[in-house]
Amino acid sequence: MGTTDNRQRYYFIDNLRWVTVVLVLIYHVFYNFNALGVFGGIGGFAEQQWQDVVGTVLYPWFMTLMFLLAGMSSRYALQHRTAREFRRERTRKLLVPSTLGLLVFGWVLGFVNMKAGGGVLPEEVPGVVKFLIGVISGTGPLWFIQDLYVFSLLLLVVRKVLDVDRVEAWLARLSEEGLSLLLMCFYLLLWALAQTQVDNAGAFSGLLNLYRPVYYFVVFLVGYYVFALERIHAYLARYSTALCIAAMATGIVFCVKFYGADYTAPAVLQSVWCSLYCWAAVLALIGLFKHRYDCTTPFSQYMTRSSYGLYIVHMTVCTSACLWLKSTALPVWSIYCLALIATFAGSVLLWEVLRRIPLIRWCVLGIGSPTHE
């Protein structure tokens, strides 16, 4: 995911990142129990569930925000690292967990996913083949860091062609009206990129819609070249109240319009309202956190240090807990509450255990030593 450099710590970015990871954990509990036809998950409790609106509220914007923040953090990292150091760091932090990590730990989620989906492999299938199927099925949330690793390598090429200082100088000449127009143009860009979604007719198209390589790479670059600038931070903080109102208004319209629909369907993601809500939410949250939460506490420091590990391990805990709780006769409301508690507590516990085992922490979390956390 990347971190800001210690020489100039942007605490609001750290806080916004770990808060977004917390929202990802919450989202996956509701995703597992969704009744909207969203691919994967365990299944809902009724044909229509009001609580599925949680996924509708979060899904349009939280991964866009994550890639934007990753682009910003890459800008800060490259200010104090050579391209070689940056590539080596990203290889350890992103490539290792999303490849070797699957062989060491990710296969567990793969088998949980197969059980949740009702898939049973014949007894005659060799153990090695079963293991490899589990590895492939266990990618889960690691698609994000797989995308991010490729984007980081591509960035090293793009920055040789498009000089970051030249872009910054051009942005510095823009008036406030010009800056406002530029931010609105980014909304149009997002909407245009969203049209790359394809019908979910097969496994390949489903993966393409999940990874969204063109869409997220452009968002990543926008974070690197534009949103890393302090002028943008100050602008969004100044108008954070208005942006929050706009985000809530567009969010309400979006949720009403697509209530009960599969929020991952191309028809939803390609809509004007989806892109408008997404962009308003992203701008509002950056502005709000810059204005209100550009600070640090012992708790936020812990979450900043832990959020990446929690992101990597949480899906195994979440799906396992949801699968077991779904088989009980507990009231639905208590199943959600217990699933949320188990996901958070279990993820923290698992992260704390794994990070203390040298070889495991390198493979699964990309931590070579305690200083790399």
Q: What is the pLDDT along the chain (373 residues), one digit of tens a residue?
A: 544 444 578 999 999 999 999 999 999 999 999 999 888 889 999 999 999 999 999 999 999 999 999 999 999 999 999 999 999 999 999 999 999 999 999 989 988 888 877 666 666 777 788 788 888 888 889 999 999 999 999 999 999 999 999 999 999 999 999 999 999 999 999 999 999 887 765 556 667 778 899 999 999 999 999 999 999 999 999 999 999 999 999 999 999 999 999 999 999 999 999 999 999 999 999 999 999 999 999 999 999 999 999 999 999 999 999 999 999 999 999 999 999 999 999 999 999 999 999 999 999 999 976 555 6
CA gap 321, 332 in Å, rounded: 14
Cβ atoms of 112 and 133 within 8 Å: the answer is no
Query: H or E stretch including 4?
Result: none
Please enumerate in sequence order all residues whose Cβ is within 8 A of that of 273, keeping only pairs 6 or more positions apart, or say none: 250, 253, 254, 257, 258
pLDDT of residue 1: 57
Amino acid 59 reads: Y
Please enumerate in sequence order all residues whose Cβ is within 8 A of that of 369, keeping only pairs 6 or more positions apart, or say none: none
Please enumerate in sequence order all residues whose Cβ is within 8 A of that of 305, keeping only pairs 6 or more positions apart, or say none: 373
What letter does residue 306 receive in the DSSP assignment?
Answer: H
Q: Transcribe 193-246 into DSSP letters.
A: HHTT-----SHHHHHHHHH-HHHHHHHHHHIIIIITSHHHHHHHHHTHHHHHHH
Please enumerate in sequence order all residues whose Cβ is within 8 A of that of 349, keeping only pairs 6 or more positions apart, or say none: none
